[in-house]
């Protein structure tokens, strides 16, 4: 059993038993469901809008090399600098070099999951830079020394009392139980940091090939400030974020907001084309974009699951997932939690180590229904299970399938096996069989029928 | 070793040798350009200016942004001056646009044309910012500002209050129309920043409870002239 799997089973079991925390998460998501449905009702045809969104991403991802070449040419024409990184280490090295060349000290960051993926903060801090996360949820998680719980709602599991204590400890503020007051504490604390920072680091939600703009979606305004005040702006993005046309965003931006947060549009959707231009009064002197592969091309090479690269990171699949709601985001041990994380992590980090996430699913399909770009999430979990079995079947799997095949091809043996099974079923409850005992602790087995289906069929046919 | 760019592009081209099936869509109509087909399925932005203005007012109210309709520019100046008195603004920064200058001149408190002599520390100390905008999207209640039309990048985001002065004819039905207008107006020379502002800054990071004014403006006013 892989280490990651062992940790997952332990954490998931603990969290699933924490009724209070589960109720808290359900309550926190309650408002989201209401708002999402209200917004979806404003669409003249949500299902067809999903078709259009999916088409926009499909078109770009299946022409990725050309789209990226077009995008980078236009990005550079706008005065930006593009850097390519094959993996996390290269991306970190590029960003460290930009910081060193600029003689920077203070860095302010807005929310960027790709930077979590490459553990950028650790690298920057080790190199001696002060790094502050400015998104409120990320700021709280940074103070807690904890990874984000949900890639859109990073601290949704933390109660206000804990946040108040955290702020008292780190910022010396008076305790309060008002979310409003807690937000204002963070606002006051961060304002001067934006003004003083040398470098602002952001993510990117979309890269527009035809114009060379990057699009950043947010609610708080922290990304706007991060890209406005420091003298250098560095954006970090996965290569799959490209869309071919600017007007693709007319579909994607509203759908991202509605699916992800139940909003008509997130508060700030901003397109950046280069650093400050002649005639503009402010903005950074340099604008760098780091394009990261980090195994995305491995996922691209699997045509069956290529659509997982259509993901716009709205988080809708997490919000509806019964597994996520019961085990929580931290148990996954991944940068991207929930169904999309369970699908892509085995590609990004290795199937052998991470296939257990494919099993952490009820295959209910709620994620697939929720996805605004129609990623076939729950089937991909099955595809991963199948691929894992093909790649490295365990001794048990091999023996089980060989035995199953042997019996299924022999009807008499199958009938005999059924008879033995029906007769011994009550005993199963008493035997301490692995897997079975944990399952049966809280569940009843139905009584075995006296006759098999085939026997019953025969009786009825004669009657 | 090849450079990272050629390596990654080669990996992509190799990966794409095997084609992925085109997604199956609900209807044949979806085979064209995403937005051309998608526009009609998105939320309604109104067929006529009147209809768009009704939708805009509804959207802004839901977003907790304040819409102030005034007949002319002089009335815009009076409305904003009233606001400044009611909120006791001490210092206001503004964008030197033709629609904004007269409004700033009517203020009862000191004001500063931020894009003429930009200083970020001084801007941090301002109570409010007044800017113009590129367009307004009725469908979503969004106000489109740019580094050209709003006095740079920081003016519309750093002060605690943002007041936008716009003309009624800047109201467009939907996002697709606004984007098409930007493409027609700027072409390959886009401003370095274009931002769709949809309501005052907000967060739900603490227990998913809505709080306004996370980092950007806590209050957003749209003064619509005409």
Contact A219 B204 (CB under 8 A): yes
pLDDT tens digits, A305-337: 999 999 999 999 999 999 999 999 999 999 999
Q: Percent of chain A, pLDDT > 70?
A: 99
d(CA A348, CA A333): 13
- Chain A CB contacts of B140 below 8 Å: 254, 264-265
Stretch B168-181: mean pLDDT, rounded?
97
Burial label, A282 (beta-carbon count in 10 A; 0-12, 13-18, 19+): buried
Query: Cα B114 vs. chain centroid, distance in angstroms?
Result: 19
Window from A26-35, A46-55, B28-37 with minimum mean pLDDT: B28-37
Q: Percent of chain A, pLDDT > 90?
A: 88
- In this predicted structure, the answer to whether residue A168 has a pLDDT above a threshold of 80 is yes
pLDDT tens digits, A338-392: 999 999 999 999 999 999 999 999 999 999 999 999 999 999 999 999 999 888 8
pLDDT at residue A436 in the model: 73
Shortest CB distance from A32 goes to which of B40, B139, B208? B208
Complex confidence, ipTM: 0.96
- In this predicted structure, the answer to whether residue B190 has a pLDDT above a threshold of 80 is yes
- In this predicted structure, the answer to whether residue B30 has a pLDDT above a threshold of 60 is no
Burial label, B62 (beta-carbon count in 10 A; 0-12, 13-18, 19+): middle
Domain boundaries, chain B: 49-225
pLDDT at residue A261 in the model: 96
* Pairing mode of beta strands B202-203, A268-272: unpaired
Indicate the helix (H) or strand (E) that contains B225: strand B219-225
User: For residue A279, what is the nearest residue in chain B, using CA coordinates?
Assistant: B148
- Chain B CB contacts of A155 below 8 Å: 205-206
Stretch A84-109: mean pLDDT, rounded?
97
Q: Give φ, ψ of A335 to 5 degrees.
A: -70, -40
Mean model confidence pLDDT for chain A: 94
- Per-residue pLDDT band for A448 (boundaries 50, 70, 90) equals confident
Cβ neighbours for B48, distance < 8 A, ≥ 6 positions apart: none
* Pairing mode of beta strands B142-146, B111-113: unpaired
Whether residue B151 lies within 8 A of chain A, CB to CB, comes out as yes
DSSP A328: -
d(CA A413, CA A406): 9
Tokens linked to A53: 């969104």
Contact A228 B158 (CB under 8 A): yes
Contact A267 B180 (CB under 8 A): no
- In this predicted structure, the answer to whether residue A273 has a pLDDT above a threshold of 70 is yes
Closest CA to A120 of A94, A143, A140, A144: A94
pLDDT tens digits, B94-153: 999 999 999 999 999 999 999 998 999 999 999 999 999 999 999 999 999 999 889 999
- Chain B CB contacts of A182 below 8 Å: 206
pLDDT at residue B29 in the model: 58
Instruction: Indicate if the alpha-carbon torsion angle A302, A304, A310, A312 is positive or negative.
Output: negative
pLDDT at residue A461 in the model: 82
Instruction: Mark A5-19 as b/e (b = at least 16 C-beta within 10 Å).
Output: beebeebbeebbeee
- CB A324, CB A315: distance < 8 Å: no
Place of tokens 């931006």: A253
- In this predicted structure, the answer to whether residue B35 has a pLDDT above a threshold of 80 is no
Instruction: Mark A313-327 as b/e (b = at least 16 C-beta within 10 Å).
Output: bbbbbbbbbebbbbb
Window from A113-122, A391-400, A428-437 with minimum mean pLDDT: A428-437
Window from A393-397, B48-52, B67-71 with minimum mean pLDDT: A393-397
pLDDT at residue A91 in the model: 98
- In this predicted structure, the answer to whether residue B68 has a pLDDT above a threshold of 70 is yes
Contact B151 A281 (CB under 8 A): yes
C-alpha distance across the termini of chain B, in Å? 64
Shortest CB distance from A281 goes to which of B19, B115, B204? B115
Query: A69 to each of A21, A292, A384, B12, B92, how far by Cα in Å?
Result: 47, 14, 31, 12, 44
- Chain B CB contacts of A49 below 8 Å: 38, 41-42
Give the architecture-level CATH label for domain B49-225.
Answer: 3-Layer(aba) Sandwich (3.40)
Contact B213 A183 (CB under 8 A): yes
Shortest CB distance from B214 goes to which of A74, A195, A219? A219
pLDDT at residue B23 in the model: 74
- Per-residue pLDDT band for B219 (boundaries 50, 70, 90) equals very high
Instruction: Indicate if the alpha-carbon torsion angle B100, B101, B103, B109 is positive or negative.
Output: positive
Closest CA to A309 of A70, A83, A58: A58
The number of C-beta contacts closer than 8 angstroms across A and B is 327
- In this predicted structure, the answer to whether residue A421 has a pLDDT above a threshold of 80 is yes
Window from A225-229, B121-125, B129-133, B185-189 with minimum mean pLDDT: B185-189
- In this predicted structure, the answer to whether residue B27 has a pLDDT above a threshold of 90 is no
- Chain B CB contacts of A195 below 8 Å: 120-121, 124
Tokens linked to B89: 């603004």
Q: Give φ, ψ of A269 to 5 degrees.
A: -120, 110
pLDDT at residue B1 in the model: 55
- In this predicted structure, the answer to whether residue B85 has a pLDDT above a threshold of 70 is yes
Stretch A236-245: mean pLDDT, rounded?
97
Torsion of CA A106, A110, A116, A119, to 10 degrees: -10
Shortest CB distance from A239 goes to which of B8, B14, B154? B8
pLDDT at residue A391 in the model: 87
d(CA A41, CA A187): 34
Window from A43-52, A284-293, B59-68, B79-88 with minimum mean pLDDT: A43-52
SS (H, E, C) A129-171: CEEEECCHHHHHHHHHCCCCCCCCCCCCCCCHHHHHHHHHHHH
User: For residue B174, what is the nearest residue in chain A, using CA coordinates?
Assistant: A250
- In this predicted structure, the answer to whether residue A463 has a pLDDT above a threshold of 60 is no
Tokens linked to A60: 């770009």
Best of A25, A183, A238, A311 to substitute, by most chain B Cβ atoms within 10 angstroms, is A183
All domains in chain A, ordered by first residue: 1-42+316-392 (no CATH), 46-294 (3.40.50.10420), 409-462 (no CATH)
Stretch A193-211: mean pLDDT, rounded?
97
pLDDT at residue B37 in the model: 66
pLDDT at residue A402 in the model: 92
């Amino acid at each position: 059993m892989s280490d990651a799997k062992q940790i997952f089973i332990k954490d998931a079991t603990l969290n699933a038993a924490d009724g209070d925390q589960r109720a808290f998460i359900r309550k926190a998501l309650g408002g989201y469901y209401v708002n999402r449905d209200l917004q979806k009702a404003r669409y003249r045809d949500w299902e067809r809008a999903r078709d259009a969104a999916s088409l926009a991403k499909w078109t770009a991802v299946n022409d990725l090399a050309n789209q990226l070449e077009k995008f980078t040419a236009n990005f550079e024409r706008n005065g930006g600098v593009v850097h390519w990184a094959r993996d996390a280490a290269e991306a970190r090295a590029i960003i460290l070099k930009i910081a060193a060349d600029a003689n920077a000290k203070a860095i302010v960051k807005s929310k960027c999951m790709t930077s979590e993926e490459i553990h950028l903060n650790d690298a920057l801090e080790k190199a001696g830079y002060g790094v502050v996360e400015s998104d409120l949820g990320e700021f709280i998680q940074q103070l807690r020394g904890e990874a984000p719980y949900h890639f859109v709602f990073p601290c949704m599991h933390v109660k206000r009392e804990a946040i108040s204590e955290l702020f008292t400890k780190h910022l010396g503020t008076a305790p309060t139980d008002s979310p409003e007051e807690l937000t204002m504490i963070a606002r006051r604390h961060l304002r001067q940091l934006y003004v003083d920072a040398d470098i602002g680091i952001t993510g990117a939600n979309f890269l527009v090939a035809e114009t060379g703009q990057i699009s950043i979606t947010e609610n708080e305004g922290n990304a706007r400030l991060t890209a406005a005040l420091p003298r250098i702006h560095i954006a970090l993005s996965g290569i799959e974020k490209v869309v071919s046309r600017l007007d693709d965003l007319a579909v994607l931006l509203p759908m991202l907001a509605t699916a992800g947060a139940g909003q008509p549009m997130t508060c700030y959707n901003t397109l950046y084309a280069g650093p400050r231009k002649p005639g503009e009064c402010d903005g950074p002197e340099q604008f760098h974009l780091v394009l990261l592969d980090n195994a995305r091309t491995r996922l691209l090479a699997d045509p069956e699951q290529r659509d997982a690269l259509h993901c716009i990171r709205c988080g809708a699949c997490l919000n509806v997932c019964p597994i996520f709601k019961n085990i929580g985001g931290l148990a996954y041990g991944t940068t991207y939690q929930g169904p999309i994380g369970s699908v892509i992590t085995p590609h990004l980090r290795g199937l052998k180590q991470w296939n257990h996430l494919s099993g952490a699913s009820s295959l209910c399909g709620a994620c697939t229904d929720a996805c605004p770009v129609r990623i076939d999430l729950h089937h991909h979990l099955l595809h991963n299970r199948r691929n894992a079995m093909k790649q490295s079947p365990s001794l048990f799997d091999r023996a089980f399938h060989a035995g199953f095949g042997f019996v299924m091809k022999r009807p008499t043996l199958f009938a005999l096996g059924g008879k033995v099974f029906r007769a011994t079923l009550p005993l199963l409850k008493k035997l301490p069989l692995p897997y079975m005992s944990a399952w049966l602790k809280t569940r009843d087995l139905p009584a075995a029928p006296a006759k098999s289906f085939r026997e019953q069929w025969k009786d009825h046919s004669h009657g | 070793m090849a450079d990272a760019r050629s390596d990654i592009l080669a990996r992509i081209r190799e990966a794409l040798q095997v084609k992925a099936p085109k997604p199956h869509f609900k209807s044949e109509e979806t085979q064209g350009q995403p937005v051309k087909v998608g526009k009609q399925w998105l939320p309604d932005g109104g067929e006529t200016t009147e209809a768009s203005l009704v939708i805009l007012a509804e959207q802004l109210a839901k977003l907790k942004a304040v819409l102030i309709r005034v007949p002319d520019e002089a009335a815009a100046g009076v409305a904003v001056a009233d606001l400044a008195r009611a909120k006791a603004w001490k210092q206001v920064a503004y964008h030197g646009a033709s629609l904004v200058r007269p409004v700033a001149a009517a203020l009862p408190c000191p004001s500063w044309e931020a894009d003429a002599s930009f200083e970020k520390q001084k801007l941090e100390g301002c109570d409010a910012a007044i800017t113009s905008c590129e367009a307004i999207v009725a469908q979503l209640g969004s106000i489109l500002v740019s580094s050209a039309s709003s006095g740079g990048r920081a003016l519309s985001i750093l002060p605690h209050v943002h007041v936008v002065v716009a003309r009624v004819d800047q109201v467009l039905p939907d996002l697709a129309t606004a984007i098409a207008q930007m493409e027609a107006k700027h072409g390959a020379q886009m401003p370095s920043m274009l931002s769709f502002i949809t309501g005052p800054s907000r967060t739900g990071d603490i227990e998913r409870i809505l709080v306004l004014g996370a980092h950007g403006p806590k209050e957003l006013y749209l003064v619509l002239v005409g």
